[in-house]
Structure 1
Amino acid sequence: MSLYAELHRHLGGSVVPRVLWRYFHRSDRDLAQRFPEYPEFEEFYTRPRNTLDEYLELHTLVESVQTAQTLPYFIYRLIRGAYIFENLAYLELRYTPYLRTPDHLSQSERIEKMAEIVDIVGISSRVPEYPIVTSQILCMHSRLPYEVNRAIVDLASQAKEYVCAVDIAGGDAHVAERLDEFVGLFEYARSLGIKTTGHLFETSSGCYPQLLPYLMRIGHGIQIPLKYPELLPEVAQRNQCLEVCPTTYLKTGTLEDMRQLKLVFDRCFDAGVDIAICTDNAGLHNVRLPFEYENLLTLDVIGFDQLQACQEAAFRHAFAWPYAQRPASILTGLLQTESGDTLAIGG
């Protein structure tokens, strides 16, 4: 059995439609009345949007119900599905903790509540019957105030038992007017020893080379090989990995056809730039990681050798994977040891 690493999955977009709809009908009368029948809700929740901003509005639907009280419910089902249906050995969950705090509180009170959210997500992610190595990436947000974003970086530094990195999310076009601010925040994070990734070069409106030197991985990054291939040597030199999420680009209107990603993979492989294939929002897309692999293979975007290279890159660039090898190598070593022991006993 193959075991995989998922490096780019949002907590808000990870809830599969059926689980979310059932929660509405058990616990939220207003949303249950809005979506009385499941097929209508699934069509609404998973259909493509015209722009990234329109697509991101769906996150607010889930964020509103992911509270300190309900997060264990959602995370247990997330981990169960990831283990049983996706064969994940490693999962990084990313989200903005501030947006899971009660919105009736003051900004300072919500900032204080963020640590509780991180603890709840961390504890809930450790499910003994579904042994997956998990960690959190805390997302700064392009539409949140500087004080909140700096507090998110500080929290990442203080909660290293559960947190492996920081990110910037919220729509890449909105970074432009505060670019110097986010450069400073990423520089601050690196000064604290925090690992970094960031939603950049996802769309043509989110291309900020000024931020690249401060990132260890690049969230999406597909516009680099598509429109700025001259940057690829620098990306390779920094050993930065692109977190490519194929279905996302169809759902956000960024690409018209997944086959357009062939140029992304070809140019990255030619330049020596690693790619980790990810889901981004597996629930929102109703697509699990093995199906992302299968779609890319079926459409001849990549071959099996490239797929294996991407799977290996995911473990190599994982921020909190605790082993030097990927699971397949560890299992192979165990089987060889057992075989040798058997032979020795038989002799």
Structure 2
Amino acid sequence: MALYADLHRHLGGSVVPRVLWRYFQRHDAELSARFPDYYEFEDFYTRPRNTLNEYLELHTLVESVQTPETLPYFIYRLIRGAYVFENLAYLELRYTPYLRTDQSLDTKQRIDQMRDVVKIVGEATKVGEYPMITSQILCMHSRLSYEVNRAIVDLAADHPEYVCAVDLAGGDELYADQLDELKKLYHYARSRNLKTTGHVYETTNGLYPQLLPYLMRIGHGIQIPLKHPELLPELAERGQCLEVCPTTYTKTGTLDNLSQLKTVFDRCFEAGVDIAICTDNAGLHNVRLPFEYENLLTLDVIGFEQLQACQEAAFRHAFAWPYSQPPASLLTGLLQGRYD
């Protein structure tokens, strides 16, 4: 029974280790030779890294094989797993389309090819036997040029049938030298009626209050309640929601343990700031959404009432959820109508 929503999942980190390893064995001789044993690969792929930048390097491994030709293969398995094992009713899948284009092409040709990538991803997520509402978030990237990032915004705005928002990803320490350009890009996105989120306040290198007014949701944002709780009333007034991805912070060395998130949840609930619990990179972590829930409950980071509030907030802040209620409420209404 599909009941949950994941608002923050990267296409590059969504492939579970077994599926990725099997693809290498069948289709990529070089990577197959590099990782001949599955368990060695799983350990390499899922072990914690020391920094966010080191962690992000793993995305390049997957991006290199997520081509227009192979995307349907990976996405079908992603949707199947999300529906069967995670009970997802709604999924926003984010990625940088430019990084799925042919690297042998020039910049203009790659920008043109991004349109094909978005359509391929959009059509591949329509899997009849696993009914789930999906939409794409296109990520601008801190390592890409203004020209490419603006083209990503235009692409998102031109394809509302596939895309619900834009994001900003990449190493957050690189934002500092691009702040004026990034603010222009977000202003342009809002002028084109796009919804917005962005990876800020994830680490202590990502503290950019200048970007907060442009965001409808905040990707991670845990450093706000941890280090700058004075900002929480502004977030509450704007109705912004934090996309908190628990396992990520131990995988990137941002937090020592998940228990440290208790401060994040407690301060946000006290200030009236919504949190959606998300996976970020479910495959890379080998941790699915229900296990994120269970880990937080087991460690007494949150209680069941807080968990339910976060689950409801996820649907309330979902950019493309078409209903006014979460699926549990809709199902309750159907069952009451049946038995009345």
**Does TM-score exceed 0.5, indicating one fold?**
yes
2:2·2:89 contact (CA, 8 Å) conserved in 1?
A: no
| Alignment partner, residue 343 of structure 1 | none
1:179-218 map, 5 Å: 179-218=179-218
| Alignment partner, residue 258 of structure 1 | 258
Query: Which structure: larger Rg?
Result: 1
1:8-19 map, 5 Å: 8-19=8-19
The reply on whether 1:273 has 2:273 as its aligned counterpart is yes
- CA positional deviation for 1:173: 1.1
User: In structure 1, how many angstroms separate the alpha carbons of the residues matched to 2:126 and 2:207?
Assistant: 36
User: In structure 2, how many angstroms separate the alpha carbons of the residues matched to 1:278 and 1:173?
Assistant: 23
- CA positional deviation for 1:100: 0.1
| Alignment partner, residue 239 of structure 1 | 239
User: In structure 1, how many angstroms separate the alpha carbons of the residues matched to 2:272 and 2:244?
Assistant: 15
The reply on whether 1:159 has 2:159 as its aligned counterpart is yes
CA displacement 1:45-65 (0-9 Å, x = unmatched): 000000000000000000000
- CA positional deviation for 1:172: 1.0
Give the secondary structure class of the aligned counterpart of 1:8: strand
| Alignment partner, residue 105 of structure 1 | 105
User: In structure 1, how many angstroms separate the alpha carbons of the residues matched to 2:311 and 2:37?
Assistant: 38
| Alignment partner, residue 133 of structure 1 | 133
1:1-347 map, 5 Å: 1=1, 3-340=3-340
Which amino acid is the alignment partner of residue 146 of structure 1?
Answer: Y
Unmatched 5+ stretches in structure 1: 341-347
| Alignment partner, residue 344 of structure 1 | none
User: In structure 2, how many angstroms separate the alpha carbons of the residues matched to 1:183 and 1:311?
Assistant: 31
Runs of 4 or more above 2 Å deviation: none
Which amino acid is the alignment partner of residue 135 of structure 1?
Answer: S
User: In structure 1, how many angstroms separate the alpha carbons of the residues matched to 2:172 and 2:312?
Assistant: 28
User: In structure 2, how many angstroms separate the alpha carbons of the residues matched to 1:2 and 1:36?
Assistant: 36
Which amino acid is the alignment partner of residue 57 of structure 1?
Answer: E
Which amino acid is the alignment partner of residue 41 of structure 2?
Answer: F
Which amino acid is the alignment partner of residue 219 of structure 2?
Answer: G
User: In structure 2, how many angstroms separate the alpha carbons of the residues matched to 1:267 and 1:179?
Assistant: 28
Which amino acid is the alignment partner of residue 179 of structure 1?
Answer: L
Which amino acid is the alignment partner of residue 113 of structure 1?
Answer: Q
User: In structure 1, how many angstroms separate the alpha carbons of the residues matched to 2:21 and 2:5?
Assistant: 27
Which amino acid is the alignment partner of residue 153 of structure 1?
Answer: V
2:2·2:83 contact (CA, 8 Å) conserved in 1?
A: no
User: In structure 2, how many angstroms separate the alpha carbons of the residues matched to 1:171 and 1:240?
Assistant: 22
* Sequence identity (%): 77
Which amino acid is the alignment partner of residue 323 of structure 1?
Answer: Y
Give the secondary structure class of the aligned counterpart of 1:21: helix
Which amino acid is the alignment partner of residue 292 of structure 1?
Answer: E
- CA positional deviation for 1:224: 0.2
Q: In 2 relative to 1, CA 230–243 (structure 1 residues): closer, same or farther, beyond 3 Å? A: same
User: In structure 2, how many angstroms separate the alpha carbons of the residues matched to 1:193 and 1:326?
Assistant: 24
Query: Number of aligned pairs?
Result: 340
CA displacement 1:171-213 (0-9 Å, x = unmatched): 1111111011101100100010000000000000001000000
User: In structure 1, how many angstroms separate the alpha carbons of the residues matched to 2:215 and 2:157?
Assistant: 16
User: In structure 1, how many angstroms separate the alpha carbons of the residues matched to 2:2 and 2:13?
Assistant: 24
Which amino acid is the alignment partner of residue 92 of structure 2?
Answer: E
Give the secondary structure class of the aligned counterpart of 1:210: coil
Give the secondary structure class of the aligned counterpart of 1:5: strand
Give the secondary structure class of the aligned counterpart of 2:113: helix
Moved more, 275-284 or 1-10: 1-10
- CA positional deviation for 1:2: 6.1
User: In structure 2, how many angstroms separate the alpha carbons of the residues matched to 1:207 and 1:151?
Assistant: 26
- CA positional deviation for 1:12: 0.2
- What TM-score, normalized to structure 1? 0.98
2:196·2:216 contact (CA, 8 Å) conserved in 1?
A: yes
User: In structure 1, how many angstroms separate the alpha carbons of the residues matched to 2:190 and 2:133?
Assistant: 24
Give the secondary structure class of the aligned counterpart of 1:144: coil
